[in-house]
Structures are given as structure tokens and as C-alpha cells.
Amino acid sequence: MAHTTFPTDIPVPHDDGACTHLTGLLLPSVTLPSTSGTRVDLSALTGLTILFVYPRTGAPNETITEEWNSIPGARGCTPQACGFRDETQKLYKLGVKQLFGVSTQDTTYQQEIKERVHLPYDLLSDERLEFAKVLKLPLLDWKGSQLIKRLALAVRDGKIEKVWYPVFPPDKNAADVVAWLESKR
């Protein structure tokens, strides 16, 4: 199955309360490497920033296993990223100043997916889990690695204003963010 689609019979993630502490939290100063070649301190950004966090994107020609599909909320990283790609201009028109995807994959890996699916925004690498640990983000174990569970954050001037968790279906996450922004007008 292609990385840009996902099965309709995958398990739906349930809210385990792992993100209830985030709303209203000030982001700590953690700088993450970006696919732009710079480092970004999310706490220092002004205006409205949307961060969507995902476990991992599949590599070209990688076979998505049933084991991965069986983890609630794991499948759908590329569809989520493409959803934000497709809604980027609308998000900016609704007041978003910065848009980033965040995963634990290294910047070189992220650069490949950014180019392959034509993402107009940068991806940030939390390869060392610094951001995830300081925010106490929910993690999942996969083949000896810890990955961040899928979520999205609206951050205004360094303060978390809105949390989407769990995110399902992942390809609709960007549309959910757009709907939230439109409801605030």
C-alpha cells in the first residue's frame, strides 16, 4: 500500500490523557534542526505556530507491515504531512505565521520526504527526544526506538493554545486545524 494512503481498518487511537497537561504550557527553549539547514527555537517564535508531530514517515519502497498498522494511531504520517501541504496557504491566510512537522527522524531522512512529496514547510528533527521529553509528549516503542505519538499543537508566542490528540484520521488533521481557526474568526 502506498505511503500516501492508509487502510480503512486500522485501529483508532483513544485519548489516554497523555496530552492533558499541555494546554496553556509555555514552551521551554529547545532548538531543533530544520530541513532548511537552520536550528529553530520554538519558544522564541512570535505569532501563531502550528506544529504537527508524527511518529515516522516511511522510506521510499519501504513495505508497511501489519505490525505497524496494528499500532493505534501509528499509520498515516505521510497522509498527515500531505494534508498540511494541501492546506498551507489557507492556514497562512487564517493567521498562521509558521508551520512545522516534527518527528524523531534525522534531518537527512526528513529532507528526502520533504522533497518527495513537495512539502512547502520545514520539518524539525527531535532525534534526541529533547523536545518530547521536556514537554512529556506521549511516546511509542518501535523496533528498539522511541517515537512520538501523533498530535498537533497551536502555539501562540511560545504558549500552547490548542492540542489535537489523538489525531485520527491523520489525513484530516490539517482540515481540523483550519476548522478551529475559522471558528475563532
Domain 31-183 = CATH 3.40.50.150: no
Domain ranges of the chain: 31-183
3-class secondary-structure state, position 85: helix
Answer whether residue 4 shows pLDDT above 80.
Answer: no
Name residues whose C-beta falls within 8 Å of residue 32's C-beta, 6 or more positions apart in sequence.
39, 40, 42, 102, 124, 125, 126, 130, 131
- The whole-model pTM stands at 0.94
Do 42 and 98 touch, CB atoms closer than 8 A? no
Do 18 and 165 touch, CB atoms closer than 8 A? yes
**One-letter amino acid identity for 127?**
E
Do 165 and 15 touch, CB atoms closer than 8 A? yes
CA 146/CA 139 separation, integer angstroms: 6
CA 128/CA 125 separation, integer angstroms: 8
Q: For residue range 89-148, list pLDDT tens digits in order.
A: 999 999 999 999 999 999 999 999 999 999 999 999 999 999 999 999 999 999 999 999
Q: What is the mean pLDDT of residues 162-166?
A: 98
**One-letter amino acid identity for 167?**
V
